[in-house]
Chain A
């Protein structure tokens, strides 16, 4: 069948109609395939998401609420429900459930605050205490008054000041800063030698040559007491026992 035979005589009419019918069918097929919502139309407010059972339950609850609202309105208006004809036990149960959800319970009365009665604590018996008070809480001794820790000065450190001095904001100096301050404070002591004094003026630690192994040793500073020292392990056999333990 060629194009000339289709467009000749009466056939052109049937061809025209068939073309429109086929186009319509194609359009409907594509529209059906492309539209995922094949259910009945529901306004957005009535759309529920969830399983089929949940959607059905939500719709049932909404109908019950509407029934209850209408019923109460009509009852207020006419003194009796006009829905009595369609009323059944199932609907009545639904309405009761909906009412229970809608009606708020009566407010609870405020609790009055109870005041507890004060009770007297029994006298402290030092004999029955598990700890000795004179050990835990020492009494003041005039001969040995407690040493009060003086607060460290704050501000801009200058040579000769306490190496542990805090900065203007009260910050604790770092270990490197304390070391540098210690050496600067002692840089004028001739005992260190000229070479070491030059180093110490710039905050560097003094050095010495250990003749036993030929190595250069560097002095250290104790971080807490800001006192310098050399690493040495010599034992004093005549030191007191307490000194030996230290």
Chain B
């Protein structure tokens, strides 16, 4: 079975249908207003450190740290984090740490479960096979809700 990242690269797409489910390499959202994005880590694989990257076209603020790209690791970040995102594009994808920080390779992918306009659930698989496992599950909340 071909790894999902190989298919993302070969077919030059950001989402694929695998076993009847839509798998994304990245989740991209458009924020019309300054939004407080809450990131709740609901599940984490014990095999290796998992994380999530938030990338914005503008600034992201967490506590006293401001950057366009933030990473929240399961071994350092608390289970619940609020990120203030300025209007613009917001991209989210999962990462993991073998000996190095990895993303977008192997069997990695994100299965998206929309809850409502104010929330999403991301079930992410890291690059290690098999690809249908959930290595980190995140719940994203938006205040104000997405339009």
Interface of A toward B, CB cutoff 8 Å: 189-196, 206-212, 214, 216, 227-230, 232-239
Contact = CB atoms under 8 A, between A and B. Distances in A.
B58 interface: no
A209 B6 CA distance: 9
B60 to A, nearest CB: 9
15 contacts: A191-B98, A191-B105, A194-B3, A196-B105, A208-B5, A208-B9, A212-B55, A212-B91, A227-B100, A230-B103, A233-B69, A234-B67, A235-B69, A237-B62, A238-B72
B66 to A, nearest CB: 9
B10 A195 contact: yes
Which range contains the number of B residues in contact with the other chain? Answer: 35 or more
A229 B9 contact: no
B21 interface: no
B105 A192 contact: yes
Nearest to A239: B76
A193 B108 CA distance: 10
B72 A193 contact: no
Q: Which 8 A-B pairs have the closest CB atoms?
A: A237-B65, A193-B3, A234-B71, A235-B67, A237-B62, A209-B9, A211-B26, A191-B127
A220 to B, nearest CB: 10
Given A229-B100, A236-B76, A237-B65, A195 B6 contact: yes
A227 B6 CA distance: 23
A12 B3 CA distance: 127
Contact of B101 (A207, A208, A216, A232): A232
B99 interface: yes
Contact of B70 (A212, A228, A237): A237
A206 B108 CA distance: 15
B78 interface: yes
B53 interface: yes
B14 A236 contact: no
Contacts of A229: 100-101
A229 B134 CA distance: 24
A245 B77 CA distance: 18
Contacts of A233: 69
B102 A230 contact: yes
Given A194-B3, A233-B69, 4 more contacts: A211-B25, A229-B100, A230-B101, A237-B77
B128 A191 contact: yes
B106 interface: yes
Contacts of B98: 189, 191
Contact of B8 (A206, A211, A232): A211
The interface centre, meaning the residue of A190, A236, A239 with most chain B CB atoms within 10 A of its CB, is A236
Contacts of A196: 6, 105
B9 A195 contact: yes
Interface string B5-27: 11011101010000000000110
B144 interface: no
Contacts of B114: none
Contacts of B91: 212
Contacts of B12: 209, 214
Contacts of B103: 208, 230, 232
Nearest to A210: B104
A190 B69 contact: no
Nearest to A212: B91
Contacts of B126: 191
B101 A194 contact: no
A212 B68 CA distance: 13
The interface centre, meaning the residue of A192, A228, A233 with most chain B CB atoms within 10 A of its CB, is A192
